[in-house]
Structure 1
Amino acid sequence: MFQVDLSQNRIQKLEEKRFSDLNLREREHLQEWLAGQPDALGEELLIIQKEFDGFADTRERLDLLALDKDGQLVVIENKLDDSGRDVTWQALKYTAYVSGLTKTQIIDIYQQYLDRYCGGGNAAAQICEFLDVEELGEVILNPGNDQRLIFIAANFRKEVTSTVLWLREHRIDARCFKVVPYVFGEELFVDIQPVIPTPEAADFMIGMAEKETEARGAQGEQKNRHKLRRDYWEMALEALKEAGDTLYQNISPSKDHWLSAGSGVRSCHYAMIFGKALLRVEFSFARASAEENKWLFDRLIQKREQIEADFGNKIEWLRLDDKKACRLQYEIPCDGFNRDEWPKHIAWHVEHIQKWERALRGPLAEVNQALKANGGVS
């Protein structure tokens, strides 16, 4: 850190000191500085207690307890020249202790602070003012398990920085601030700078954390859907077995939204579809050759009237001219992920896949034979 002498157009280096060299103490000095100017930590904080010891079955004391603008509790642990090895464990204990504090308890803690150190005041009203809300009923304090930790020291041991980085990887908002005293003549200066995360990395890390949270949520949703589909197909396959169906007798449950079975025509298969909002039976022409798929489709659609009469419903015929494959399908809307509705859904699938296979079996064999007799598509 440098002092600028504009008259000489020069800078002069300030002398870096240790707190111990200056006879400065953690509680009497550093703690009081931060309690009086908490925005020195780079954000608006409301100090609600210092030397807080209101823990059941222990007389341990945390240095400073604060609220941030989201109503989250912030545990602030101060050290001077050396962070020590155990500060993270100490702060984690305190954070666990305060995680159970209720809104009423937090207001009482702050009221005690105001009465003892600030000459009184209305804790509830000041919290409302700090959070920019009009009424206490709108206030949510200490929600969930997102309590925060701030560590302050002139030097951080590797055990501490490694632990803080690990906590941040696990979405716990832990931060480190380096505080260094300087002297110039008779004047004393103190520099407080974030080191984890650095200012440059803070927005990036927040963005990455949000992305990770979104990804984890998506993964969790995906896992839930996979399990749900597997459960449905297990029940559906059991129902088909009980109905004497042989089409799916060698098929295993799947995590996918579809369950297919062979038709006797190469690369063409039957399928049952189970979606969040629909049930479907379909038949796909998925051979490597688009020409063969279209040829089979065109020959089969000539038997449309017979197939639909045998099936008992109008079928959607999708030639899909811009794609290699073709498809036939019949579907209905449903509340697919409502397990209470599954017996009805499964009965529908059992009934319609059997009708589907019976209606298509003969015509498919005919067009497949014609393809073979023709030696493929000419």
Structure 2
Amino acid sequence: MFKIDKESNRISRIETKRFSDLGFRERDHLQEWLANQPDALGEELLIIQKEFDGFDDTRERLDLLAMDKEGNLIIIENKLDDTGRDVMWQALKYASYCSNLTKSQIVDIYQSYLTRYCGGGDAKALLCEFLEAPDLSEVVLNSGMNQRLMLVAANFRKEVTSTALWLLNHDIQVQCFKVTPYATAEELFLNVEQIIPTPEAKELMIGMNAKEAEEKNTEAELKNRHRIRMAFWEQALEAMKSSQCELFNNINPSKDHWLSAGSGVRSCPFSLIFGTREARVEFSMSRSEVKENKFIFDRLLEQKTDIESLFGSELEWLRLDDKKASRIQFSKSFEGYDRENWPEMTAWMVEHMTALEGAFKLPLQVVNRELRQVTFTTESGV
């Protein structure tokens, strides 16, 4: 690795270091770096435990246990300057142990991690947020034999890389990441490079295991929910088309629990929400920049009294300071999957989405003009 000096138009070598020479240790340093920055491994991951030892009849513990966006478990094994000969055997053992973890066990493992290392939190809610699912019952976790292995080290022995390539050829998902520390006179740098498989290689999939029955039940339930939602939205959209609200005239039924339509402000849709326990109408601010969302929310909040007067009820104003998006909503409890309630639910949605659109029409026009006149910095946060 080289440093570029623009003034002299020259490059200078940045010195390669060994972790041990810098005083770094596997558990205290490399493991902590990855636990706090898991996307260094090339994708969005959720760390659900570290130093995990929840295996029957063994005192072994794996370095990091993570989850990918598909709900698959990932065993991450870290070594510093050299993998040693046994790292692949260790990782395979841990994968076999983890293959039998059920959804409830995974939730408990993550809850324990949150309590011990993160100051608490709701494991189910955070898993749903990470997996972008409305309810954990709709998600398959740790599917079949889809456990993945990630090996991290500064140097990989030939027996390790050879085994990794052999496993890939037999549909076992293995990735090897070479981590290299670099130093200048004043700064330290870390390069993380995936060496197996090559970045161009397609992601490999593997088969099912003994949890197939549980997964099939979940998949059947999910398909049933999709059919129910499609049927509900067909009725709801027909009712919408017969109303004064034209927002959803060109929207098709969906298997999702929500339908969205444009409000005239980019990435700020009106949405209908069909839940198992409630119906909801909402206006959400989900632009790419946090500051823009909070600006829109705050400008609308200044007109809260007038907006709620036009709407006819108090709204729930959710600025959500710890998230990128913000939301303003109104809901009512319903047993959503009871088809006898659907006529009342659709009538409620039509009435309140019509009112919501009317209440926000003029304020949104003003906010949209203001957005064109305001310059936002690129810093995250408000």
TM-score (norm 2): 0.53
Give the equivalent residue in structure 1 for 2:50: 50
| Alpha-carbon offset, residue 76 of structure 1 | 0.2
1:3-27 deviation line (CA, Å, top 9, x unaligned): 2222222221110000111010000
Give the equivalent residue in structure 2 for 1:163: 163
Give the equivalent residue in structure 1 for 2:5: 5
| Alpha-carbon offset, residue 2 of structure 1 | 1.4
- Opposite residue 159 of structure 2, the aligned amino acid is E
- Opposite residue 13 of structure 1, the aligned amino acid is R
1:341-368 deviation line (CA, Å, top 9, x unaligned): xxxxxxxxxxxxxxxxxxxxxxxxxxxx
1:79 aligns with 2:69: no
- Opposite residue 49 of structure 2, the aligned amino acid is Q
* Counterpart Cα distance in 1 of 2:66 and 2:134: 20
- Opposite residue 198 of structure 1, the aligned amino acid is T
Superposed counterparts of 1:215-364, under 5 Å: none
Total equivalences in the alignment: 207
1:100 aligns with 2:100: yes
* Counterpart Cα distance in 2 of 1:133 and 1:99: 22
| Alpha-carbon offset, residue 202 of structure 1 | 1.8
Give the equivalent residue in structure 2 for 1:202: 201
* Counterpart Cα distance in 2 of 1:104 and 1:154: 36
Give the equivalent residue in structure 1 for 2:339: none
* Counterpart Cα distance in 1 of 2:37 and 2:7: 32
- Opposite residue 142 of structure 2, the aligned amino acid is N
- Opposite residue 19 of structure 1, the aligned amino acid is F
* Counterpart Cα distance in 2 of 1:73 and 1:55: 15
* Counterpart Cα distance in 1 of 2:65 and 2:134: 23
Aligned-residue Cα RMSD (Å) equals 1.4
Which protein shows a greater Rg?
1
Give the equivalent residue in structure 2 for 1:226: none
1:22-52 deviation line (CA, Å, top 9, x unaligned): 0100000000000000000001110000000
* Counterpart Cα distance in 1 of 2:162 and 2:98: 24
* Counterpart Cα distance in 1 of 2:47 and 2:121: 14
Moved more, 133-142 or 26-35: 133-142
SS of the residue corresponding to residue 91 of structure 1 reads helix
* Counterpart Cα distance in 2 of 1:138 and 1:146: 18
- Opposite residue 90 of structure 1, the aligned amino acid is Q
SS of the residue corresponding to residue 202 of structure 1 reads coil
Identical aligned residues as a percent: 67
Give the equivalent residue in structure 2 for 1:333: none
* Counterpart Cα distance in 1 of 2:189 and 2:197: 23
| Alpha-carbon offset, residue 148 of structure 1 | 0.4
Give the equivalent residue in structure 2 for 1:29: 29
* Counterpart Cα distance in 1 of 2:11 and 2:109: 47
1:122 aligns with 2:89: no
* Counterpart Cα distance in 2 of 1:21 and 1:38: 24
Runs of 4+ in 1 over 3 A off after TM superposition: none
1:89 aligns with 2:89: yes
| Alpha-carbon offset, residue 139 of structure 1 | 1.5
* Counterpart Cα distance in 1 of 2:134 and 2:19: 43
* Counterpart Cα distance in 2 of 1:7 and 1:60: 54
Give the equivalent residue in structure 1 for 2:187: 187
* Counterpart Cα distance in 1 of 2:125 and 2:49: 16
* Structure 2 residue runs without a partner (length 5+): 208-382
| Alpha-carbon offset, residue 70 of structure 1 | 0.5
Give the equivalent residue in structure 2 for 1:146: 146
- Opposite residue 86 of structure 2, the aligned amino acid is D
* Structure 1 residue runs without a partner (length 5+): 214-378
